[in-house]
Structure 1
Amino acid sequence: MRQKNSLFLMLICILLLTSGCLKQEPVHKEQDLVQVKSTNDKHVKKVILLLIDSLMAQAIDEGIAQKELPTLQFLIQHGQYYKELVSSFPTMSVTIDSSLLTGTYPDGHHVPGLTWYSTKEKKLINYGTGPMEIINHGVNPVLEDALINLNRSHLNQKIPTLYEDLAQRGLKSGSINGLIYRGPIGHVLTIPPWIQGPTSLPRTIPVKGPDYLSLGSLSDPLDGLKELPDGLSNRLGLNNRYSIETVKYLIHANKLPDFLYVYLPDLDHQIHKKGPSDLKGVKEMDKQLQSLLQSFGSPEEALKKATFIVVGDSGMTQILPAEENPLIELSSFFNDYKVLRDGESVTEETEIVLALNETMAYVYKLKADKLKDIAYLLKADPRIDIIAWKEKKWMYAIQGNTSKELKFKVNGKLIDPYQQKWTIKQDAEVLDLKINAQQQTVSYGKYPDVLQRLYGALHSHDGEFLIVTAKRGFELADRNSPTHKGGGGHGSIGKTESLVPLIISGTEQKPQYLRIIDLKSFLLKLLTK
């Protein structure tokens, strides 16, 4: 996230400078290794899901063609390989991970993006985007939202996570560096003194998670048992090597749970800088996967003992270089409005709040103007792709740089490939929909599952707001938002950022549909057959 998954990682340098204290007290000792080992006597294979941030099929295909990815090639040759799994929307990791673990789009799980505005709290929620935004927004509220509120209150308490469902079935589960981890078992996050000092965070934070919860140095059940790369130079353990070495320990110690979620973040950082065509991070990740499979004795033995699922979370769009002016300064469209600025509090005078998620943004209106009037301020810009909003039961969408409009609502005579029913009026070209009136079907073009994904984002939280997406090559920005000129960006709803690879090895079963929200039911079926 945000760098997509930077979350609090960018805070580390800031806090280091402000605290001047590196002394680390012993961390809270967890009981995870006592409770994590599977007690399942039905001989159902373990399932290890490896979520690789920003993994794209084009990189896999090119790396295999160059004979540089032997591990992924092995898993593909001994399994199933799908190149077009539909991600959630916006294509930001906190939202995607929430969709994977709850089986719902944001209208179900209520995590709208990396940044969003809470009408209840009257504040902009930011889980950790860039250093300047964090400084202006406030280190304390960012850390509180990322470390406490995200899993405890923002993630819909009425929708069970995969970990909670597995526990109900008597199965053990684990999460390694997953940012969405809510489960039924009590754990403690331990905040280092040099982070705690300049904030109001408590020394320890009680949380609920799966049987095994590892979150870098904040929650390390292997502390004192295995030396892991979790220092300042290793992003507090939120790195691939930490995740892989933790899995390898559980394998060697015969402590694998029935289901283990493993998050590998390093590739995202590389692609944000270099763009989606860079293969260096993919090659390094392939070597790490090879060492994991070898921990079972051999790759062949690994597939006998476990089912491996490798999945990306979002793709990336190549952002144009700086000389081609790729940034869309969103606040410049609202010069006649009182726009909330970083570090400010919402007042009665505030009219517009912007929540930027790289190539996607939420635009909130807090005054009496109609959303359509605000949308019309944006539509003439040729760099804007789609502007969408809801009014009562209808969702509206405008195509940037044209006057074409569309509206749709749930239920109706038109059935899409996922057996979802819709009523669609006006210009279907706006969302690249193909309607067959005779067969009463609708299919999707360059925006996968766009009707349900737009519906999900528009109903993900309270408030009156627009959804704005940028065309390929461009990024939405404000004064202090992180940007990726010449690198890679995501957040939007088009194919490039929405379609991710899925590799399933060790079973012939597959999801009903190729969407991130269908993985939860697939995993439950695998583990309870």
Structure 2
Amino acid sequence: MRIIHWLIWIVVLLIICSGCYGHEAKSKEEDLLRVKSQAEHPSKKVILILVDSLMYQSIDKGLQQNKLPALKYLIDHGQYYKDLVSSFPTMSVTIDSSLITGTYPDQHRVPGLIWYSAKDKKVINYGTGPMEILKHGVDPVLSNAMIHLNRDHLSAQTLTIYEQLNTVGLKSGSINGLIYRGTVEHTLNIPEWIKGPTSLPGELIVKGPDFLSLGSFSNPLEGIKKMPDSLTKRMGFNNEYAVESVKYLVRNNKLPDFLYVYLPDLDQELHKKGPSVIDGVIKTDKQVQSILNAFGSFKEALDQAIIMIAGDSGMSTILPDSKHPVIDLPQVLHQYAILGPGAEATSATDIALAVNETMAYVYKLNTKDSLKQIADILKEETRIDFISWKEAGWIHVVEAGTAKEFTYKPNGKITDSYGQTWTIGSNPDVLDLHINKDLNTLKYREYPDALKRLYGALNSHEGDFLVVSAKQGYELSGQSSPTHKGGGGHGALHRVESLVPLIISGTTDKPDHTRIVDLKSYILRLLTKPLGKSEKTN
């Protein structure tokens, strides 16, 4: 997740520019007054802890070394899945939108961490990296992340879990969640040293769940508890802040019926050091242990609540610099006039790029070449995995380095493992699909839920564009994209970046499917069904 990284850079830049610091925070006492769930509600509370870039391989390694006591207890007393399918592209804002709305991008309309808006004729960037932010402009990046993401870009036609819980009289909360739209008004306080050099107002009125904590911008515990939300603590966008918030709610009997908690720190370590390092997972386990102990003991935690811990995306190991892991898209597409960072497209602009690490959108603007012709150029780059686009109701997928092309569309005789039906063309091996012609079924292998996830990305926003996915070990680059040579990256469709762990403790009720897009309906079911005898006694 890149937003945590760029916040530090933006803050430092703005302090230098404005020469001032500090703001007067307003009390958020009303959050604590309205957040407590109703005592007569018949089901357990649910706490969902999303750990950015948590991978099951790291959990298994830590368990083998007996270094994860909290996660081991939850696994031993619950359910442990290693095949929770992420959204696509595997980037935080899109994944969180899928989690909170229960839909893929074709419905929630948040295509990625960076994408091109045909309406605005500009690239929308929520914060990909320091250099790209500076070139796109600090003001539009902050405005996109803090104002437009939840208010304008996330589809109003798709209900969030917070909105849906409100309709049935249940309380909800979000701690540092990127997607938080709900029904209750909150005020985000913007410091002077951010407000001064940007167009942001001193206060932003937003709608969220009953309890909304968003670092120092919205701290419901202001004046009640000293929180780690200083500049050196990334303004509260850290694990410690989130964990301390949960512990306060538990100890003071203020837990809402549903609480979403976002832990970002692990992602930074893995991007720098690669996915094989488990130090961050060990630290996360200690933080989970402190949450469980806030209930009194591990056992009491599961008596009182259903605890869910999930990753959001996996991460590939990016090859070292000597292996040439970065695919320079402007160089590959050098014959086209490419939209510059922060610029507005004109009649002279041929294409635009929106690079989401190991995945990218390539937009056809004013070039006379077709999407297929642009794809033909890209497929010569053997470090690319595949290129895809939609045309006349069909999805086309071309395997780079070969002449193989696969086509498909929704609805048909072939049913996948999620009950979705498809019409399938030739060369399904391009997406490593196993087709059983006798039963008219298909199984996903290298690319989990590939047909629906790719369809979701290609129908996530307006425009004529390609989806480009890199092979494992490689990442894509635009004119100023951050790269992670020798570290880790995600964004693509393949297994290692798509399958994440899910731990569920405190209930024997199982999810219908193990996909992030299905968690919303599962949580709603847990919250609206009466407790059975086994849950009451645990």
* TM-score grouping bracket, smaller chain normalisation: over 0.9
Residue 344 (structure 1) shift: 2.1
Partner residue in 1 for 2:333: 334
Partner residue in 2 for 1:173: 172
Q: Is the Cα contact below 8 Å between 1:88 and 1:517 reproduced in 2?
A: yes
What are the superposed Cα offsets for residues 184-236 of structure 1, whole Å, 9 maximum, x if unpaired? Answer: 00001110111111101000000000000000000001000001110111111
Residue 426 of structure 1 aligns to a residue whose secondary structure is coil
Q: Count how many residue pairs are aligned between Structure 1 and Structure 2.
A: 528
Partner residue in 2 for 1:17: 16
The answer as to 2:507 corresponding to 1:502 is no
Q: Is the Cα contact below 8 Å between 2:398 and 2:430 reproduced in 1?
A: yes
Partner residue in 1 for 2:533: none
CA distance in 2, matches of 1:9, 1:118: 26
CA distance in 2, matches of 1:30, 1:255: 12
Residue 260 of structure 1 aligns to a residue whose secondary structure is strand
Partner residue in 2 for 1:282: 281
Q: Is the Cα contact below 8 Å between 1:396 and 1:408 reproduced in 2?
A: yes
User: Which AA in structure 2 matches 1:195?
Assistant: I
Partner residue in 1 for 2:482: 482
Gaps of 5+ in 2: 530-538
CA distance in 2, matches of 1:177, 1:350: 38
CA distance in 2, matches of 1:10, 1:24: 19
Partner residue in 2 for 1:130: 129
CA distance in 1, matches of 2:103, 2:9: 29
User: Which AA in structure 2 matches 1:400?
Assistant: A
Partner residue in 2 for 1:151: 150
Partner residue in 2 for 1:235: 234
What are the superposed Cα offsets for residues 293-329 of structure 1, whole Å, 9 maximum, x if unpaired? Answer: 0001101110000000000000000001111111000
What are the superposed Cα offsets for residues 93-119 of structure 1, whole Å, 9 maximum, x if unpaired? Answer: 000000001110100100000000011
User: Which AA in structure 1 matches 2:386?
Assistant: I
Partner residue in 2 for 1:409: 409
CA distance in 2, matches of 1:30, 1:466: 48
CA distance in 2, matches of 1:5, 1:22: 20
CA distance in 2, matches of 1:273, 1:402: 33
Residue 30 (structure 1) shift: 5.1
The answer as to 2:406 corresponding to 1:388 is no
Q: Is the Cα contact below 8 Å between 2:358 and 2:476 reproduced in 1?
A: yes
Residue 230 of structure 1 aligns to a residue whose secondary structure is coil
Residue 14 (structure 1) shift: 2.0
Partner residue in 2 for 1:323: 322
Partner residue in 2 for 1:377: 377
CA distance in 1, matches of 2:216, 2:125: 22
CA distance in 1, matches of 2:357, 2:222: 36
CA distance in 2, matches of 1:325, 1:30: 54
The answer as to 2:527 corresponding to 1:527 is yes
User: Which AA in structure 1 matches 2:123?
Assistant: L
Q: TM-score, normalised by structure 1?
A: 0.98
What are the superposed Cα offsets for residues 473-525 of structure 1, whole Å, 9 maximum, x if unpaired? Answer: 00101231111111100000000000000000000011111100110000000
Partner residue in 2 for 1:452: 452
Partner residue in 1 for 2:534: none
Partner residue in 2 for 1:345: 344
CA distance in 1, matches of 2:74, 2:123: 42
Q: Is the Cα contact below 8 Å between 1:339 and 1:352 reproduced in 2?
A: yes
CA distance in 1, matches of 2:299, 2:174: 24
Q: Is the Cα contact below 8 Å between 1:25 and 1:193 reproduced in 2?
A: no
Q: Is the Cα contact below 8 Å between 2:23 and 2:190 reproduced in 1?
A: no
Residue 290 of structure 2 aligns to a residue whose secondary structure is helix
Partner residue in 1 for 2:57: 58
Between stretches 204-213 and 474-483, larger displacement belongs to 474-483
Residue 442 of structure 2 aligns to a residue whose secondary structure is strand
Partner residue in 1 for 2:536: none
What are the superposed Cα offsets for residues 353-379 of structure 1, whole Å, 9 maximum, x if unpaired? Answer: 000000000000112321000000110
Residue 377 of structure 2 aligns to a residue whose secondary structure is helix
Partner residue in 1 for 2:399: 399
Residue 332 of structure 2 aligns to a residue whose secondary structure is helix
Partner residue in 2 for 1:466: 466
Q: Is the Cα contact below 8 Å between 2:176 and 2:242 reproduced in 1?
A: yes
CA distance in 2, matches of 1:469, 1:269: 22
Residue 342 (structure 1) shift: 1.4
Residue 348 (structure 1) shift: 1.2
Residue 299 of structure 2 aligns to a residue whose secondary structure is helix
User: Which AA in structure 2 matches 1:138?
Assistant: G
CA distance in 2, matches of 1:61, 1:23: 44
CA distance in 1, matches of 2:478, 2:393: 31
Between stretches 123-132 and 341-350, larger displacement belongs to 341-350
CA distance in 2, matches of 1:286, 1:292: 10
Q: Is the Cα contact below 8 Å between 2:176 and 2:261 reproduced in 1?
A: yes
CA distance in 2, matches of 1:392, 1:162: 34
Q: TM-score, normalised by structure 2?
A: 0.97
Residue 7 (structure 1) shift: 5.7
Residue 397 of structure 2 aligns to a residue whose secondary structure is strand
The answer as to 2:25 corresponding to 1:26 is yes
Partner residue in 2 for 1:225: 224
Q: Is the Cα contact below 8 Å between 2:448 and 2:498 reproduced in 1?
A: yes
CA distance in 1, matches of 2:339, 2:121: 11
Partner residue in 2 for 1:422: 422
Partner residue in 1 for 2:308: 309
CA distance in 2, matches of 1:499, 1:298: 31
Partner residue in 2 for 1:81: 80
CA distance in 1, matches of 2:166, 2:34: 12
Residue 336 (structure 1) shift: 1.5
CA distance in 1, matches of 2:440, 2:408: 15
* Correspondences of 1:1-16 after superposition (within 5 Å): 1-2=1-2, 5-6=4-5, 8-16=7-15
Q: Is the Cα contact below 8 Å between 1:406 and 1:428 reproduced in 2?
A: yes
Q: Is the Cα contact below 8 Å between 1:8 and 1:146 reproduced in 2?
A: no
C-alpha spacing 1:120/1:69, structure 2 compared with 1 (3 Å): same
CA distance in 1, matches of 2:303, 2:155: 37
Q: Percent identity?
A: 59
Residue 5 (structure 1) shift: 4.9
User: Which AA in structure 2 matches 1:402?
Assistant: T
The answer as to 2:277 corresponding to 1:272 is no
Partner residue in 2 for 1:512: 512
Q: Is the Cα contact below 8 Å between 2:45 and 2:257 reproduced in 1?
A: yes
The answer as to 2:117 corresponding to 1:118 is yes
Q: Is the Cα contact below 8 Å between 2:444 and 2:450 reproduced in 1?
A: yes
Between stretches 247-256 and 210-219, larger displacement belongs to 247-256
Residue 8 of structure 1 aligns to a residue whose secondary structure is helix
What are the superposed Cα offsets for residues 447-486 of structure 1, whole Å, 9 maximum, x if unpaired? Answer: 0000000000000000000000100000101231111111
User: Which AA in structure 2 matches 1:308?
Assistant: I
Q: Is the Cα contact below 8 Å between 1:102 and 1:109 reproduced in 2?
A: yes
C-alpha spacing 1:361/1:30, structure 2 compared with 1 (3 Å): farther
The answer as to 2:440 corresponding to 1:440 is yes
Partner residue in 1 for 2:194: 195
